[in-house]
């Protein structure tokens, strides 16, 4: 009997361990799946405005969006796949900042030294920090810097391209972009859309280090074979009031391409132009788009301090302030739905955008985990450090955003199972004692 009970005891322990393991795995998987499921961005799923006027753009495709919410304020063929050229480097740069260590020392390879196109004249064997490579990549559009970054992080451009595509679909959530290299030199399978580039840039510009680099107009460059002052290739920075970035590009197959951003009086916009007729017309198109944003829209603020009630009068709050766009002379209507989202409506029952809103207690947990470091960073290095702190904190997010209720149920079932098995054990022990009593 003792041997039989020992066997049952082992079964109980094994079953308990399996239940616990399943609970943990389900928590992690559910959280990741829920987080990824939220990140699918397509042009048809974001808030749109009807154009107040038809802009005479020369670019084949173009878009203007609110830099905070992603609302589409104007678009022209924005879902059409196009060749991006060097605006590809926006993705290479933000990946290096977020997933690399900017203090790393990178040794330049022969392949990086000899890459075609615009360069910062790296030499084979030259040792450069990853930060300096990102600066050379985004300010001077160095293709050699792009290859050096790719080889440092993934040993080859091909493996780094795989990382880029995972980042685009899983982290940013865009669906119509595929990159095959880190710099944007022409390849048939290297393409994007104006909408995707706007969403990619919206994501990247939330990073302080990235913002500081793409907003840098000039920088001293001391290299092994090249000492000079770099001037940002993006002419918007020196020619448009409030310009904050970000990147231009050109190859024969793409024509002139440009992603620009600007901010004035609390309003911030991102615009993309692809395959303009000429470089000059590209910048005219960009100015036209940004002017259209500032002249036709007002910015309203949803405060994280405001309390919204659901249908059961449960208080909810946003996790951060949100600056959103409304057409001039339009009065927005804000209401909370039963799915846990805050809807913002414009005139004619047109949905401007929606955002997830959390119960007050959960919202406070979220803010503590995702709290932004106050003040502006004084340097690129400080900004990168601040982002790393926020990234580490956000690893806790699946517990809040994921299938937490499923985890609670699993743990409850686990505890019930343990209680049931303990009761059975006690009953068996009681029966054993009765059997040993002599009659």
Mean pLDDT (the chain, rounded): 83
pLDDT tens track for 360-413: 875 444 433 332 322 334 455 555 555 454 444 433 333 333 444 556 677 677
Residue where one domain finishes, among candidates 296, 328, 361? 296
pLDDT for the residue numbered 12: 54
Active site residues: 86, 89, 141
Residue where one domain finishes, among candidates 244, 279, 296? 296
Question: Is 50 inside any structural domain?
Answer: no
User: In Å, how far are 44, 48, 117, 202, 436 from 353, measured between CA atoms?
Assistant: 12, 8, 41, 15, 74
Q: Are residues 368 and 427 in the same domain?
A: no
CB neighbour list of residue 185: distance below 8 Å, 6 or more residues apart: 115, 116, 117, 143, 251
| Phi and psi angles of residue 40, each rounded to the nearest 5 degrees, phi first | -125, 110
Is residue 62 within 8 Å of 272, Cβ to Cβ?
A: yes
Q: CB burial class (10 A; 0-12, 13-18, 19+) of residue 50?
A: exposed
pLDDT for the residue numbered 415: 78
Q: Are residues 189 and 254 in the same domain?
A: yes
pLDDT for the residue numbered 56: 96
Is residue 120 within 8 Å of 221, Cβ to Cβ?
A: yes
Task: Measure the CA–CA gap between 215 and 204, rounded to whole angstroms.
Answer: 12
pLDDT for the residue numbered 29: 46
Q: Are residues 284 and 310 in the same domain?
A: no
The dihedral sign for the CA sequence 150, 156, 162, 165? positive
Intervals of the chain under pLDDT 70: 1-41, 43-48, 50, 52, 362-408, 411, 429-439
Q: Are residues 361 and 233 in the same domain?
A: no
Q: Are residues 379 and 292 in the same domain?
A: no
What's the pTM value of the predicted model, to 2 decimals? 0.76
Task: Measure the CA–CA gap between 307 and 351, rounded to whole angstroms.
Answer: 21
Question: Is 182 inside any structural domain?
Answer: yes
| Phi and psi angles of residue 47, each rounded to the nearest 5 degrees, phi first | -65, 135
Chain mean position to CA 428: 57
- Helices marked H in 186-278: 194-204, 208-214, 236-239
pLDDT for the residue numbered 144: 98
Which of 135, 59, 86, 82 is closest to 248 using CA atoms?
Answer: 86
pLDDT tens track for 150-183: 999 999 999 999 999 999 999 999 999 999 999 9
Location of structure tokens 């002379």 = 329
Which of 12, 70, 433 is closest to 271 using CA atoms?
Answer: 70
In DSSP notation, 148-159 reads HHHHHHHSSHHH
pLDDT for the residue numbered 416: 79
CB neighbour list of residue 49: distance below 8 Å, 6 or more residues apart: 71, 72, 73, 74, 297, 325, 327, 346
Question: Is 16 inside any structural domain?
Answer: yes
- Number of structural domains in the chain: 3
Q: Are residues 337 and 216 in the same domain?
A: no
Is residue 344 within 8 Å of 352, Cβ to Cβ?
A: yes
Question: Is 48 inside any structural domain?
Answer: no
User: In Å, how far are 144, 184, 228, 254, 261 from 140, measured between CA atoms?
Assistant: 11, 14, 11, 19, 18
In DSSP notation, 298-358 reads EEEEE-TT--EE-TT--EEE-SS-EEEEEETT---EEEE-TTSEEEEEEGGGEEEEEEE-E
Range of the domain at 9: 2-28+403-436
Residue where one domain finishes, among candidates 296, 311, 346? 296
pLDDT for the residue numbered 426: 74
pLDDT tens track for 351-361: 888 888 999 87
Task: Measure the CA–CA gap between 33 and 27, rounded to whole angstroms.
Answer: 10
**In the Cβ-directed half-sphere of 211, how many Cα atoms lie within 13 Å?**
20
């Amino acid at each position: 009997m003792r041997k039989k009970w020992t066997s049952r005891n082992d079964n109980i322990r094994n079953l308990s361990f399996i239940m616990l393991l399943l609970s943990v795995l389900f928590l992690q998987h559910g959280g990741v799946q829920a987080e990824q499921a939220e990140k699918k961005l397509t042009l048809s799923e974001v808030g749109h405005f009807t154009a107040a006027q038809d802009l005479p753009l020369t670019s084949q495709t173009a878009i203007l969006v609110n830099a905070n919410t992603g609302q589409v304020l104007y678009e022209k063929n924005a879902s059409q796949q196009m060749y991006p050229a060097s605006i590809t480097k926006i993705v290479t740069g933000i990946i290096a900042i977020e997933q690399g260590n900017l203090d790393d020392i990178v040794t330049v390879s022969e392949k990086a030294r000899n890459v075609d196109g615009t360069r910062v004249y790296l030499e084979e064997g030259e040792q450069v920090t990853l930060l300096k490579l990102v600066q050379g990549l985004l300010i001077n559009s160095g293709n050699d810097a792009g290859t050096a970054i790719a080889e440092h992080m993934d040993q080859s451009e091909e493996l780094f391209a795989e990382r880029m595509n995972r980042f685009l679909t899983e982290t940013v959530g865009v669906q119509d972009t595929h990159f095959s290299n880190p710099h944007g030199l022409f390849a048939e399978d290297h393409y994007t859309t104006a909408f995707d580039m706007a969403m990619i840039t919206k994501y990247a510009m939330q990073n302080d280090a990235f913002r500081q680099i793409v907003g840098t107009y000039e920088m001293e460059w001391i290299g092994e074979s090249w000492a000079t002052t770099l001037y940002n290739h993006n002419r918007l920075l020196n020619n448009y009031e409030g310009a904050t970035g970000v990147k231009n590009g050109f190859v024969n197959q793409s024509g002139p391409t440009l992603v620009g951003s600007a901010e004035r009086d609390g309003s911030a916009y991102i615009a993309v132009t692809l395959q303009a007729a000429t470089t000059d017309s590209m910048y005219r198109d960009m100015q036209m788009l940004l002017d259209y944003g500032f002249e036709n829209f007002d910015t309203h603020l949803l405060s994280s301090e405001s309390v919204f009630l659901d249908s059961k009068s449960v208080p909810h709050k946003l996790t951060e302030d949100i600056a959103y766009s409304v057409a001039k002379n339009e009065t927005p209507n804000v209401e909370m739905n039963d799915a846990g989202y805050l809807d913002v409506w414009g005139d004619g029952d047109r949905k401007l955008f929606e955002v997830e809103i959390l119960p007050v207690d959960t919202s406070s947990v979220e803010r503590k985990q995702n709290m932004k470091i106050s003040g502006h960073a004084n340097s690129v290095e400080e900004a990168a450090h601040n982002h790393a702190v926020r990234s580490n904190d956000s690893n806790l997010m699946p517990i809040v955003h994921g299938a937490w209720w499923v985890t609670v149920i699993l743990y409850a079932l686990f505890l019930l199972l343990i209680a049931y098995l303990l009761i059975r054990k006690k009953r068996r022990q009681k029966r054993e004692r009765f059997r040993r009593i002599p009659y």
